[in-house]
Structure 1
Amino acid sequence: MREKTEIARATGIMGIATALSRVFGLVRDVVVARLFGAGFGADAFFMAFTIPNLLRRFFAEGSLTAAFVPTFSRVHHEQGADEGRRVANICLTLLLLVMTGVTLCGLLASPWIVRLIGYGFSEIPGKLELTNFLNRLMFPYIFFVSLLALITGVLNVLGHYFWPAVSPVLLNLAMIASAVLLAGSFDAPVTALAIGVLVGGFLQLVIQFPVARRYGLRFRPDFHFRHPAVRRVVRLMLPGLAGVAIYQINIVVTRLLASFLAEGSVSYLYFGQRLFEFPQGIFVVSLAQAVLPAMSRQVAIGDQSGFKESLRYALVLICLVTLPAAAGLVLCSVPVYSLFFMRGAFSYNDVLQSALVLAAYAPGLLFAGVSRVVVPSFYAMHDTRTPVWVSFYTLLVNAALGLLLMRFYQHVGLALALTLSSVFNCFVLLFLLRRKLGPLGLKHVLRSMLRIVPGTLLMAVFAYAVLYNGQWQVPGSFWPKLLRLGTAVIGGSGIFYAVCLFMRVPEVSQLAGFIRRKTRWKREVRKG
């Protein structure tokens, strides 16, 4: 029960912080769409940002966190805080040296890397050169966010989640400010966005220092790289690097294939993916981060039944959020792009194309969410190899489906291929986890899912009825559009919540009871 409470608390804190970040991310994308549209400059920026963003997940958020958090958690709880701090300093020293080398190599090799992933751009004069320039300008971003990821892992194990989760707000603010204030200062206005990325990455790292000091963390270079815990991190991280690399290659393959399609295809995929990641980033990623320390503790003490219970609880929470969110993304795709994006350089055709991509991505939200929870289960058991092999075969599935579907559906086919490969990835991971641990008790998860479906369907019917008659092709009319969209979202959410209560979905009932207790306590405090 304590682990469930800790998972829920951590998920809530990171969810709130991440929601704040995603709101600013939406504002950032609106500014980008308005200033740069979905053409030459935007395509070049999104392609260039693919590389440092890929390496961020390659070195930082994926394999590093997955290898470091379980190891640091074990050292901290078994050998004490002082030894934990020492291990953190050794890992930080090693990471600083590695990322310095990676950054320098990236700057030197940029022209070849850009040509490899954006080969289709070579047919448009100047587009490949602009992409290379932007990539070099943004490349040091990976240095800052990799150090940030390690500090985040330490703070999460120590029970602090908010500031690491909210730090992306600074990246979004820096990009917004740079785009608005500096775009007119460059021959290629999109250069301002790249400067914002660099400044934002630096600020994300710096803001963690006061929090780290409050927890007694002082960085002192320590070159004892043969420490057993550090060697364990490296040993776990190497296959993890391969797994994350394969996953990110999926995205690179999609962008590479899109570079051969009509101009704007890369931008449509970006804008579609950004809104797809909105609910995923707010809840799914937060839950995955929250569940890893809890599962690592349970593995460390040999509590396999508690481990399985934490997994089931996390999977039910994933279903509770992603099923209605996926339906909402499909129904609200055109209204959202029309309301927030359709102005300046962003046309109604851009709205429709981005909405089609989002609708193709949306069904994959559930399967991507389940995978996000199942993969940390392997990591908590110090098994980073299994997800690598699954990712490799998922890459092959995505590439084959992408080549097939883009012939018929262009950029929408590429989005659909990624969704279908997410389905494949999810079911293979669950199958292998069950073979490793025995029965997982997923019938409980399935029963909860069946109770969630009626609420999702009624919510979708209500939202469709509200949104169907909207004049989304007409520019402007911000407040009428916002009122209609807000009615669909708030009303649909209320219907979903009420139906889930009626169907006695345990997690929703627990939330309702928690709110009632908090409300009753506040009334008693006021009376007293």
Structure 2
Amino acid sequence: MTELGKATIIIGLFSLLSKISGLARDAIFSHEFGTNKVLDAYFAAFRIPDFLFNLLIAGTVTVAFIPIFSEYFHKDKKEAWQLASNILNATVLAMAGLAFLALIFSVPLMKLLAPGFSGETYELTLKFTRILLFSPIFLAGSAITGSVLNSLKKFALVSAVPVVYNLSIIGGVLLLYPKLGPIGLAWGVVGGTLLYFLLPLPQLFRSGFRYFLSLDYRQAGFMKFWQLYWPRIFTMGTGQISLIIATFFGSYLSEGSLSAFYYANNLQSVFLSVFAISASIAVFPTLSDLYNQKDEQRFRDVLAKTTVQVLYFLVPLSVAMLVLRAQIVRLLLGIGEGTNFSFQDTKIVSLTLGIFVVSLFAQGLVPLFTRAFYARHNTKIPVVTSLISLVVNIILAYYLVSQYGIAGMAMSFSFTVILQLLMLLVELHRKIGSLHDEYLILSSIKIAISSVIAGLAIYVSLYLVAPLVDMQTYVGVFVQALGSGFIGGLCFLGASLALGLEESRHLTTMVKSFMVKISRPLLMIINIWE
């Protein structure tokens, strides 16, 4: 297996663990609160801290930092550590200053962000926001240290830390909420972000990192970093503004609408992170190196191969989630006796989830194609496509939310992310020529056909399994969903193998190899026992 393949698997596995812990977090939230004003306030309060971090740091710093740091690291390690220290110090100080300003102006900002909130919901949102403003400061530091480790191709610990973050939030619900009330939820988040920053530090220093207490703005790499950084803000900013738009419109809708939107978004992001974002993160250093080496052929090869791999997982999963959306929501969010998550909540969240997953393939490919442009030091195209998508999203959301409620917000989101993907794909062809189009189109058709067959198999299986179990119980719904999903998975694998899809052959080979490896020690134990 290639180093890129290993990196993708490592990041994917830890992303899966992170998302499982995130699902456990949401399950606990839904059991304790359902969809109510406490969670509406909680989710809305994240918008300002998340906007600061995601706009100025997440993704922005990574795509600007890694190509430059990698270039310096191969030439002069001391210069590379000085560059990393300069950027670390600058970003943490800048984030602390912005968080302080947001704290001072939290009242007018919150009135602008969620004008539909009033009374207890508004006051609670304000309290949450003021506490959560500590979190982007710690996350800013962790973004730089994590980018250094990713540049050194040490992905495991950085990918594992989000699990601890989610466990800290769960601790806030189970331990702090009973003692401190709703505010305990916010302190659980802050504790998680502190751990996010602290845990990777030992590995960072073991990797040779030297910290310099400096802010050398004249360093050439520092200036080059900012040249790549500023355009990326517009790209990331549009994504965050889309969530702010959802919060803005959601604040005018009925209680629980905003919670339903974020529940659905969190559910569909599970597979997005595991199979798409992880691949984008893993492939980015490789694409940067290939561009620096002027190896255009390998650049196209790697990008095309990664594109098909992302589609191979996301398309069938989106079909399965579309068919099984009600079961998924009920199983993951409606778990436990005495849950506050009602069947009406299930209906709203599953509808929103179904609309989200229609664009899951596009949500997976947009980060990949965006990173392809940034690996080539091209910042203009991602910015322009993001701004166009944002404008379309605002216009569509204004109309669709008034017609369809929070589901209209999901419709607007899905349409605009597909639009952005198409624009990026057109521009990629203009910049690098053919992206092995015949291979991409043929593979996509095979994946689509196999996914439709799998979806039909799941749909039929639901009705075949339902009479055999008690659908009024959790176990009955679980057996129905698991059995139908398993049959659908087998049908997808069988159809894709019959169509000659290369990824399915690789997958079956990996599974066989894994089974052989785990069977050997078992056979040894059996022989010893005998």
Q: Provide the TM-score with structure 2 as the length reference.
A: 0.94
Q: Distance in 2 between matches of 1:433 and 1:453?
A: 23
3-state SS in 2 of match to 1:247: helix
User: Could you say which residue in structure 1 is the equivalent of 2:78?
Assistant: 82
Aligned to 1:147: 141
C-alpha distance in 1, partners of 2:516/2:26?
Answer: 41
Moved more, 508-517 or 53-62: 508-517
Comparing 442-451 with 131-140, greater Cα deviation is found at 442-451
> For the residues of structure 2 that align with 1:504 and 1:181, how far apart are their CA atoms?
52
The one-character-per-residue Cα deviations of 1:257-294 (angstroms, maximum 9, x if unpaired) are 11111111111101110111110111211011111101
- The number of equivalent residue pairs is 518
193 and 523 in structure 1: CA distance in 2 versus 1, 3 angstrom threshold: closer
Gaps of 5+ in 1: none
Deviation, 1:103, is 1.9
Q: Return the offset for 1:522.
A: 6.8
> Quick one: distance in 1 between partners of 2:29 and 2:332?
11
Q: CA deviation at 1:247?
A: 2.1
Conserved 8 A contact 2:172-2:188: yes
Is contact 2:176–2:188 with CA below 8 Å preserved after alignment? no
Partner in structure 2 of residue 283 of structure 1: 275
1 CA distance for matches of 2:165 and 2:430?
A: 42
2:108 & 2:320 partners in 1: Cα distance? Answer: 41
Partner residue in 1 for 2:10: 13
Q: Which residue of 2 aligns with 1:323?
A: 315
Tell me which residue corresponds to 2:52: 55
CA distance in 1, matches of 2:157, 2:239: 27
Query: Quick one: which of 157, 166, 178 aligns to 1:184?
Result: 178
AA aligned opposite 1:197: V
Contact 2:310 2:365 in 1 (8 A): yes
Q: Distance in 2 between matches of 1:102 and 1:385?
A: 26
Q: CA deviation at 1:214?
A: 1.9
2:331 and 2:365 mapped to 1: Cα distance? Answer: 31
Q: Distance in 2 between matches of 1:38 and 1:252?
A: 19
How far apart, in 1, do the equivalents of 2:520 and 2:182 lie?
A: 56
State the match for 1:441 in structure 2: 436
Which deviations, in whole Å up to 9, do the C-alpha atoms of 1:473-510 show, x marking residues without a partner?
Answer: x9972222222222122232222122222222112212
Report the CA distance between 1:312 and its aligned residue. Answer: 0.2
Q: Does 1:243 align with 2:235?
A: yes
Give the letter aligned to residue 59 of structure 2: G
Query: How many angstroms does 1:82 deviate by?
Result: 3.1
- Partner secondary structure for residue 280 of structure 1: helix
> Is the contact between residue 275 and residue 358 of structure 1 (CA under 8 Å) also seen in structure 2?
yes
- The sequence identity of aligned pairs, in percent, is 26
Partner of 1:497: 493
- Opposite residue 45 of structure 1, the aligned amino acid is Y
Structure 1 segment 447-466 matched on structure 2, within 5 A: 447-466=442-461
Q: Which amino acid aligns with 1:96?
A: V
The match for 2:528 is none
Q: Which amino acid aligns with 1:301?
A: Q
Partner SS, residue 35 of structure 2: coil
Q: Distance in 2 between matches of 1:158 and 1:412?
A: 42
Question: 1:94–1:225: 8 Å Cα contact kept in structure 2?
Answer: no
Residue by residue, what CA displacement relative to the aligned partner does 1:280-327 show, whole Å, maximum 9, x if unpaired? 111211011111101000011101111111110111011101101111
1:101 aligned partner = 97
Partner SS, residue 199 of structure 1? helix
Please say if residues 42 and 190 of structure 1, whose CA atoms lie closer than 8 Å, have aligned partners that are also in contact: no
Displacement of 1:520 in angstroms is 5.1
2:290 to 295, 298, 302: 298
Deviation at 1:457, TM superposition (A): 1.6
Larger mean CA deviation between 448-457 and 487-496 belongs to 487-496
Residue matched to 1:129: 123
Once the 2 structures are TM-superposed, how far is the Cα of residue 521 of structure 1 from its aligned partner?
Answer: 6.4
Cross-structure match for 1:480:
476
Larger mean Cα displacement after TM superposition, 445-454 or 199-208:
445-454
In 2: Cα distance, 1:522 partner to 1:12 partner: 18
Contact 1:316 1:445 (8 Å CA) reproduced? yes
> Which runs of structure 2 are paired with 1:421-440 in the superposition (5 Å)?
421-440=416-435
Q: Tell me if the contact between 1:338 and 1:475 (Cα under 8 Å) persists in the aligned partners.
A: no
Task: Please point out which of 107, 112, 118 is paired with 2:108.
Answer: 112
d(CA) in 2 for partners of 1:116 and 1:455?
Answer: 47
Shift of 1:451: 1.2
Of residues 59, 67, 72, the one that matches 2:69 is 72
Q: What is the SS of the residue equivalent to 2:29?
A: helix
Could you say what secondary structure the match of 1:119 adopts?
Answer: coil
Q: For the Cα contact (< 8 Å) 2:272–2:360, is it kept in 1?
A: yes
Matched position secondary structure for 2:46: helix
Distance 1:337 1:524 in 2: 39
Q: What's the CA shift for 1:335?
A: 0.6
Q: Deviations over 1:74-124 (max 9, x none)?
A: 2223x1433322221221122222122122112112112211110111xx3
What is the match of residue 22 of structure 2?
25
1:69–1:482 distance in 2 versus 1, CA, 3 Å: same
Change (3 A) 1:434 1:339: same
1:252 aligns with 244
- The structural deviation recorded for 1:417 is 0.6
Q: Tell me the residue number matched to 2:160.
A: 166
Instruction: Name the CA distance, whole Å, in 2 between partners of 1:522 and 1:424.
Output: 45
The question of 1:273 aligning with 2:265 is answered yes
Q: In the alignment, does 2:346 pair up with 1:346?
A: no
In structure 2, what is the Cα distance between the partners aligned to 1:225 and 1:170? 35
Question: 2: distance between equivalents of 1:144 and 1:96?
Answer: 8
1: distance between equivalents of 2:484 and 2:142?
Answer: 38
Contact in 2 for aligned 1:361/1:416 (Cα 8 Å):
yes
Aligned CA RMSD, in angstroms, stands at: 2.0
**TM-score w.r.t. length of structure 1:** 0.94
SS of residue matched to 2:154: coil
When structure 1 is superposed on structure 2, of 479-488 and 23-32 the one drifting more is: 479-488
In the TM superposition, residue 440 of structure 1 has moved relative to its aligned partner by 2.1
* AA at the equivalent of 2:370: V
Q: 1:523 to 1:418 in 2, by over 3 A?
A: closer
Query: 1:191 Cα shift?
Result: 1.9
User: In terms of mean alpha carbon deviation, does 79-88 or 333-342 score higher?
Assistant: 79-88
Q: 1:219-270, CA deviations, whole angstroms, 9 ceiling, x for partnerless residues?
A: 2312222111111111110111122112211111122111111111111101
